[in-house]
Amino acid sequence: MRKPIIAGNWKMNMTPSEARKLVTELVPLVRDAACDVVVCTPAVDFAAVNEVIKGTNVKLGAENMHWEASGAFTGELSAAMLKESGVEYVILGHSERRQYFGETDATVNKRVLAAVKAGLTPIICVGEKKEDREAGYTNALVSYQTLIALSGLTADEVKRVVIAYEPVWAIGTGLTATDEQANETIGVIREAVRSVYGDAADDVRIQYGGSMKPANCKSLMAQPEIDGGLIGGASLKAEDFSKIVHFDA
Ligand code: PEP
């Protein structure tokens, strides 16, 4: 059985004081959660968030990282910097990074390898654009994105990564993939993992992301292939995020 994982992606929101307030509200609301709970925050919020979540079931994630250990990469953060800041998870290959910052499948793979080597759990984002779905490329594209991202990992390492299937057309748009679409495409991703890593595919947790909210989380999470959610907008309100964490309530 795969333990569900609900992760918030705060994106470029929340100053440190706002972050402290949000997690202070969140912690008591999710204390008895049956799933893993993660907040992926801007790096400037790590210290404030850590003060509040220390010793609780809420874990800290970052929104990106560089693959090199150190050096002349102005503005970037290394895996060691994240680790020492109390980070356990890191979102990699988010579609906004691919779209606005030129990240490619090849650089996502470098980040994944560096994150796993450092003992961080990557949350690897894959997903198709609207035109890809309309052209019938979804399955091929998400399979390709997934296998490139994982390339170079062992089957044991693959078991520990988290993948987020995020159709680009559903992110921040209010449009959600239907339960069946999300389940089917996540099944395709799992079969792609199986084609290279065998039964390790059964341990990989694959989230759905794209306008998941309290109103639609229950039926999405009831789908057999969906092991969690990566939540953007709805993770910025403690009450909404906690309702998603308690999706089966
Ligand atoms: C995301 O950014 O990963 C995301 C799923 O955003 P939203 O929930 O706002 O669509």
Question: In this structure, which residue's CA is closest to atom 7 in ligand 1?
Answer: 232
Query: H or E element: which one contains 8?
Result: strand 5-9
Pocket mutation for ligand 1, best pick of 98, 226, 231 (most atoms within 8 Å of C-beta): 231
Across 209-221, average pLDDT: 97
Q: Which atom of ligand 1 is nearest to the CA of 11?
A: 2
Instruction: For 44-108, give the secondary structure using H, E and C.
Output: HHHHHHHHHHCCCCEEEEECCCCCCCCCCCCCCCCHHHHHHCCCCEEEECCHHHHHHHCCCHHHH
Q: In this predicted model, what pLDDT tens digit does every residue of 221-246 receive, in sequence order?
A: 999 999 999 999 999 999 999 999 99
Pocket mutation for ligand 1, best pick of 5, 97, 171, 176 (most atoms within 8 Å of C-beta): 171
Q: What is the mean pLDDT of the chain?
A: 97
Burial class (CB in 10 A: 0-12, 13-18, 19+), 157: middle
Residue 249 pLDDT exceeds 90 = no
Q: In this predicted model, what pLDDT tens digit does every residue of 162-208 receive, in sequence order?
A: 999 999 999 989 888 999 999 999 999 999 999 999 999 999 999 99
171 C-alpha to ligand 1 centroid (Å) = 5
Query: H or E element: which one contains 165?
Result: strand 162-165
- Ligand 1-lining residues (CB < 6 angstroms): 9, 166, 171-172, 209-212, 230-234
Q: How far is CA 213 from the centre of its chain?
A: 15
Q: In this predicted model, what pLDDT tens digit does every residue of 131-154 receive, in sequence order?
A: 999 999 999 999 999 999 999 999
55 C-alpha to ligand 1 centroid (Å) = 27
71 C-alpha to ligand 1 centroid (Å) = 31
Q: Which residues are part of the catalytic machinery? A: 94, 166
Q: Return the pLDDT at 1.
A: 86
The residue count of the chain comes to: 249
